[in-house]
Each structure stands twice: as C-alpha cells, then as structure tokens.
Amino acid sequence: MASLSGLRASVRPIARAFLAEAARRGLAPRVESVRRSRELQKRLYARYLAGKWPYPVAKPGTSFHEKGLAFDLSSDLGTPGLQRLGALAKAFGIRWGGDFHTPDPIHFQFGP
C-alpha cells in the first residue's frame, strides 16, 4: 500500500481526513498510487495504450500524479465502494475520476 506522503504538503491533511472519514464509514479505502515520476507515468501510459492496463492513464507531463495532486484508491467493496468514496470525496473538495468524461473510478485529485 502506498503512502499519502507523496502528495503535496498543502493537500495531504485533506486527503488524510477524507480517508479517515471513509474508513469510519466502513469503505475500506487503500492507497495504491500517489506521486509518480515522469518515467513511471511513461511506462503506465504505454501499458494503457497497449491494452494492458484497465484504467485511463494521462499522457506523461499532464498527470496530476506527477504534480503530487492525485492518488488512486482501491476498496474491498469494489465498484460500489469506489462510488461511495467518490461521493464522499466531493465533501472534501476532491475530484473523483469516476465523474470524468473517460471514467477512472480509482482516481482522486485536487484541482480541475
């Protein structure tokens, strides 16, 4: 499991409060990915383009993960759990990837 320490310091307390509330509600969130290097983003993007990764991946240089403003979660509750996490995220000012034009239900980010 990844750590939220890869997030920018300015958003880390908000993300921690969100995850604490999600856990309190029994949503069982696990942080899977936070900050990514440009090289890791390139590798994930290539896997996505090759059909070897099930979730959308932003082009290298455009990812909020590279900026320390995004994190990916999983939940033991599967899709329903991710949907509930997405609804809760909004109360913390966090955007949920499940609402994106190309849905990315594991993705949560700060910013547009």
Does an H or E element contain 44, and which?
helix 38-49
pTM of the predicted model over 0.85 = yes
Gap between the Cα atoms of 69 and 79, Å rounded: 23
Question: What is the CATH architecture assignment of 4-109?
Answer: 2-Layer Sandwich (3.30)
pLDDT in tens, 75-101: 988 999 999 999 999 999 999 999 999
Please, are residues 60 and 45 in contact by the beta-carbon 8 Å criterion? yes
Q: What is the pLDDT of residue 1?
A: 57
Report the chain's mean pLDDT, rounded to a whole number.
95
Question: Going along the chain, which residue ranges are E strands?
Answer: 29-33, 70-75, 95-96, 107-109
| Residue 42 half-sphere exposure toward CB, CA atoms < 13 A | 3
In terms of pLDDT, which residue wins out, 111 or 95?
A: 95
